[in-house]
Structure 1
Amino acid sequence: MAGEPQADCLFCKIVAGKVPATLVKETETTVAFRDINPQAPTHVLVIPRVHYADAAALAAAEPVITADLLRVAGEIAAEEKIDDHGYRIVFNTGVGAGQTVFHTHAHLLGGRGLQWPPG
């Protein structure tokens, strides 16, 4: 059921504390941790505590949590001191876009020049 933890979901296991992660920030609705394969000097994943497969599903069902996700990403950008130079928040949706874990997550990227369009 959407919103409920999934036994086979890596990010649900991180939320539950069953899989270790380098935590950056936790709130009532989100968990943020460092990406294990960083694509920039700062690469943090911000995820909702509830399980939805992608950003569109989360936004449709939980708009307040979606807003929390973006707010927390901005707070982390400030804490990581990348907000002055610029940062990117990316949601990959679907296999063709590179999504490998089907639990909504925002990639917060910064700390180097980020060209557009991305590779």
Structure 2
Amino acid sequence: MSRELLNLGVNAEAWSGSDQGSVTRIVAVGDLQEWEEKGHPLPDGGGISFLSFHDINEATLGELSPSIVYSPVLARDFDCIELAVLLHNIGFSGTYRAIGEGLPKPQLIEREVLQICPRLEFEIVAT
């Protein structure tokens, strides 16, 4: 999905954990087909922008100004550590959540990401 933004309906509050009714801009990174094949939820409601890993750059994130970024822990083209490094290198200092299931010790990945990318608020969440 090169350079193509797919705007899907999502309940931003449910994904971000926000209960204050504020607008949350969400960017989900990955292949939409792979995302759905893995059973990751796409709730209805507010707005979400889907980007491929290769579409992540300073200009795109500046334009979208996301409050939170989501991705799978492991995707076909990238993993969450690669995306965290990319986000960190282009100056994103917001919230990044990687979605995974059945990881034996997710805290090891979290610790590694936080050491490499201290400005990110990173956590692995289970579906």
**Greater strand fraction, Structure 1 or Structure 2:** 2
- If asked which structure has higher relative contact order (CA below 8 Å, sep 6+), I would say 1
- Give the TM-score of the pair, scaled to structure 2: 0.28
What TM-score, normalized to structure 1? 0.29
